[in-house]
Amino acid sequence: MKFGIFYEISVPRPWGPETERQVYANCIEQCVLADQLGFDHVWAVEHHFLEEYSHCSAPEIFLATVAAKTERIRVGHGINVCVPEINHPIRIAERSAVLDLVSNGRLDVGTGRSATWTELGGFRANPDLTKATWAEIVRALPKMWMNERYAHDGVCFSMPERAVLPKPYQKPHPPMWVAVTSPGTEIDAAEAGIGALGLTFNDFAEQERRVKAYRKVLANCDPVGAINDQVATVNFLFCHEDAKIGQATGLRLAGTFGYAAAQLVSAREVYASPSYASFGLLPQVRRASAAPGDAPAPPPGMAVGDPKHIIEVLRGWESTGVDCVNFLLNALETVPQAEVLDSLRLFAKEVMPHFKTDARAKSAVAAE
């Protein structure tokens, strides 16, 4: 099983002249250490206008910086928003190819369509069209990368025949994913032959059900390009020698994230569109957090506590069939940077070797 780190890049108020710069610097420092310790992926979201919750509106620049400062860790858009009012498909293809080149073929391309009214409304995008838009763009991107020239006459965009340049370093193209925040999106991923990038906090039984459904559909898919048959899930991580401290700090992290996420306004709450059949992540986080830092006892699948407990938790996720667990390390800087880094080091030393048998596990011990 692979391990990644996942960034919303949340910035707490009050905002001073150094606040955003320091948060970005902390995230980059974490990525450099994660690379040295043997983590597999770093993912960064694309969000717009979401005050405090996410100031990551240009993830390709953040990821390019990470790529320049690291050697092995893969960099992932988690996600490119496939809505023409926000990102023209040609620009997605071009930016992705450049990032793949400068990272020496370490890019994973996540796709999605945004789920908040703050973002969609801010760009005057029509929520009724975003699902069809995503489906059209996700099939066009591999063709832009693989074909010398490409022309498109579709519903959401059209282009005369042109050479979309440059081409990605990975052949035929970087692995593709779609963000899974609502039930059923994992089936969309399987039908397209792309990875399911889970961004909701499911329990073991629900995750196993979704993985099985994904694998079943994937076996007879109509792939958009090269098949990426991976399923990832997201989790919180805080690892400490003292189980009580690890749990208390981890719950504070999870509760703060939940409180920030609960302030978001979903597209469905404002615009009753059949394209958004559910509220996605919001009902879950709103039930879980009533105030900053508040959280109940950790659920069985949360990776917070001492190494022994986290190993048991990750064995549970491994048994569901997921290929990768991506960890949120902080929220609104509620955990001091030194503690975040120590948590990563302890995880790599005591937990990672139980799941990694390749050279990266040895490098984690060596870095420690």
pLDDT of 275:
75
CA 34 to centroid of chain Cα atoms = 16
pLDDT at residue 362 in the model: 54
Q: Answer whether residue 21 shows pLDDT above 60.
A: yes
- Alpha-carbon distance 271 to 278, whole Å? 12
- Residue for token pair 């023409």: 84
- Would the pLDDT of 288 be above 60? no
Domain that holds residue 69: 2-367
Grade residue 199 by pLDDT with cuts at 50, 70 and 90.
confident
- Given a cut of 70, whether residue 13 has pLDDT beyond it is yes
Which band of pLDDT confidence, cut at 50, 70 and 90, is reported for residue 267?
A: confident
Q: What percent of the chain has pLDDT over 90?
A: 82
Predicted pLDDT at 130: 95
Cβ neighbours, 10 Å, residue 173: 25
Contacts of 17 (CB under 8 A, 6+ apart): none
Q: Within 13 Å of residue 31, how many CA atoms lie on the same side as its CB?
A: 28
> On the CB side of 352, how many CA atoms lie within 13 Å of its CA?
29
Whole-number Å distance between alpha carbons of 330 and 336:
9
Residue 242 has pLDDT above 60, yes or no: yes
What is the C-alpha separation between 56 and 139, in angstroms, rounded?
26
- How far apart are alpha carbons 290 and 255 in whole angstroms? 8
107 forms bridges with which residues in the sheet? 75
In this predicted structure, what is the pLDDT of residue 49?
98
Q: What is the Cα gyration radius of the chain?
A: 20
CATH code, 70? 3.20.20.30
Per-residue pLDDT tens for 85-103?
999 999 999 999 999 999 9
Q: What is the pLDDT of residue 285?
A: 53
pTM check: above 0.75: yes
| Confidence label for 136 from pLDDT (cuts 50, 70 and 90) | very high
Give the count of domains, the chain.
Answer: 1
pLDDT at 292: 52
Q: Is the pLDDT of residue 142 over 90?
A: yes
Residues 6+ apart with CB under 8 A from 145: 93, 96, 97, 164, 167, 168, 172, 173, 225
State the chain's mean pLDDT as an integer. Answer: 92
End-to-end Cα spacing for the chain: 21
pLDDT of residue 284: 57
- Tell me the two tokens of residue 61: 């620049």
Q: Using one digit for the tens of pLDDT, what is the confidence trace for 57-85?
A: 999 999 999 999 999 999 999 999 999 99
Confidence of residue 231 (pLDDT cuts 50, 70, 90): very high
Give the count of beta carbons closer than 10 Å to the beta carbon of residue 307.
19
**Band of residue 181 on the pLDDT scale cut at 50, 70, 90:** confident
Pairwise CA distance, residues 34 & 355, whole Å: 16
Mapping DSSP onto H, E and C, the string for the chain reads: CEEEEEECCCCCCCCCCCHHHHHHHHHHHHHHHHHHHCCCEEEECCCCCCCCCCCCCCHHHHHHHHHHHCCCCEEEEEEEECCCCCCCHHHHHHHHHHHHHHCCCCEEEEEECCCEHHHHHHCCCCHHHHHHHHHHHHHHHHHHHHCCCEEEECCCCEEEEECCCCCCCCCCCCCEEEEECCCCHHHHHHHHCCEEEECCCCCHHHHHHHHHHHHHHHCCCCCCCCCCCCEEEEEEEEECCCHHHHHHHHHHHHHHHHHHHHCCCEHHHHCCCCCCCCCCCHHHHHHHCCCCCCCCCCCCCCEEECHHHHHHHHHHHHHCCCCEEEEECCCCCCCCHHHHHHHHHHHHHHHHHHCCCCHHHHHHHHHC
| 107-133 pLDDT per residue, tens | 999 999 999 999 999 999 999 999 999
329 neighbors 344 (Cβ within 8 angstroms): yes
Q: Are 259 and 292 in contact (CB under 8 A)?
A: yes
Calculate mean pLDDT across residues 314-341.
Answer: 97
In this structure, of 181-190, 213-222, 225-234, the range with the lowest mean pLDDT score is 181-190
Which tens digits make up the pLDDT trace of 143-155? 999 999 999 999 9
Q: Residues 6 or more apart from 342 whose CB is under 8 A from it?
A: 240
Instruction: Find, among 233, 232, 285, the residue nearest to 115 by Cα.
Output: 285
pLDDT at position 201, please? 79
Spatial separation of the C-alpha atoms in residues 192 and 80, rounded to whole Å: 16
pLDDT of 248 > 90? The answer is: yes
The band of 47, judged by pLDDT with boundaries at 50, 70 and 90, is very high
Of 189-193, 257-261, 359-363, the range with the highest mean pLDDT is 189-193
Asked if the model's pLDDT at residue 364 lies above 60, the reply is no
| pLDDT for residue 289 | 55
pLDDT higher than 90, residue 339: yes
